[in-house]
Amino acid sequence: MNRTPYWLAGPGILAALVFVALPLVLTMALSFSPFSNASGVGSGFTVTNYVQIATDGYYLAIFRRTFELALLVTGICVAIGVPEAYVLSRLSPGMRAVSLVIVLGPLLISVIVRTLGWTILLGNEGIINRVLLASGLTTEPVKLMYTFTGMTLALVHVLVPFMVLSVWASLQKLDPATEQAAESLGASTATVMTRIVLPQVLPGVLSGGLIVFALAASAFATPAIIGGRRLKVVPTTIYDEFLGNLNWPLGAALSLVLLVIVLAISLGANRYVERRFRQVFQ
């Protein structure tokens, strides 16, 4: 038996163990530690942190907001990203290169710069509101900063490229003649899209959706700056527990609950879609 591959994989496995598995195990251990404001992190075993998360309406609201946000962002990314990828795949090579750079633009900019850019756009004195006021469409500024809408906008902006790239990869494998075949059999353009193109790019939509969902649910900087203190999501709450309240065990418990829910939803969606549309995935 050839052992070389195992040796070659060694450094990667070691890195994964040290930098991923170990911290996760430590975080898990931490999440079962007791905490008091007076003495900090104690020793022992307790499930208080989890009970608190499961029963305290404050945390439940934060979790609900986080996943509503992630689902909404994923939905909008599908709605925007799929047509965008299709158009992209039909462009001439020159136009496609230019368009691709534009699509990937948001990923090329630092998250802080990009998010602060959004605050310039979204604020009460921001460009969007000035235009709306000047055009007479509204009489007072529309509230966008520190709102759910604002967070959604900014997250969709940065996450759409993942959807586009993922769907685009699927489109590469699509035989354009299938569209012509459907057309010759009497299908309208809309029918060609819904019954021929969309089912064939479903694997791309699924993987793009999973990436977007996971990234949206764990996004920190955008909710922190655009959502602010009022609209907390799980990642900003974890940050606050660790660095504000210094309640590390609760922060660790929140992290693990977030991880488990994201994993559960991702794997569940993956299984469901793969079963439902089995033929496309083989």
Partner 1 sequence: MAFLDLVGLGKTYHELIAVADCSLSVAKGEFICLLGPSGCGKTTTLQMIAGFVPPTTGRILLDGADITDLRASKRGLGIVFQSYALFPHMTVAANVAFGLDMRRVAAKERADRVAEALDLVHLGPLADRYPRQLSGGQRQRVALARALVIRPPVLLLDEPMGALDAQLREEMQIELRALQRKVGITTIMVTHDQAEAMTLADRVVLMNKGAIEQIAAPFEMYEYPNGRFASTFLGKANVFAGTASGETIMVGGLRLPWVASAIQGEVDYIVRPEKLGFARDGGILRGRIGARVFLGHHWLYQIDTPLGVLQLTEANIGACGAAEGDDVGLTWSSAHVRVIHRGAAP
Residues making contact with partner 1 (CB under 8 A):
175, 177-178, 180-188, 191, 195-196, 199-200, 277, 279-280, 282
Tokens of 232: 């907390």
Nearer CB in complex with partner 1: 143/173: 173
Nearer to partner 1, 12 or 186 (CB): 186
Q: Which helix (H) or strand (E) holds 96?
A: helix 93-108
Q: What angle do CA 73, 79, 81 make, to 5 degrees?
A: 90
Q: Which of 282, 97, 83 is nearest to 171 (CA)?
A: 83
The C-alpha atoms of residue 143 and residue 129 are separated, in whole angstroms, by: 9
Q: How far is the CB of 154 from partner 1 (least distance, A)?
A: 35
How many helical (H) and strand (E) elements, i.e. helices and strands, does the chain have?
Answer: 14, 2
Q: Residue 175 CB, nearest distance to partner 1 (Å)?
A: 6
Provide the 8-state DSSP code for 245.
S
Residue number with CB closer to partner 1 (140 or 175): 175
CA–CA separation, 183 and 58 (whole Å): 54
Please state, in angstroms and rounded to a whole number, the distance separating the CA atoms of residues 95 and 148.
35
Give Dmax over CA atoms of the chain in angstroms: 76
User: Based on CB atoms, which residue is closest to partner 1, 180 or 245?
Assistant: 180
User: Minimal distance in Å, beta carbon 210 to partner 1?
Assistant: 20
Q: Which residue number, 94 or 186, has a Cβ lying nearer to partner 1?
A: 186
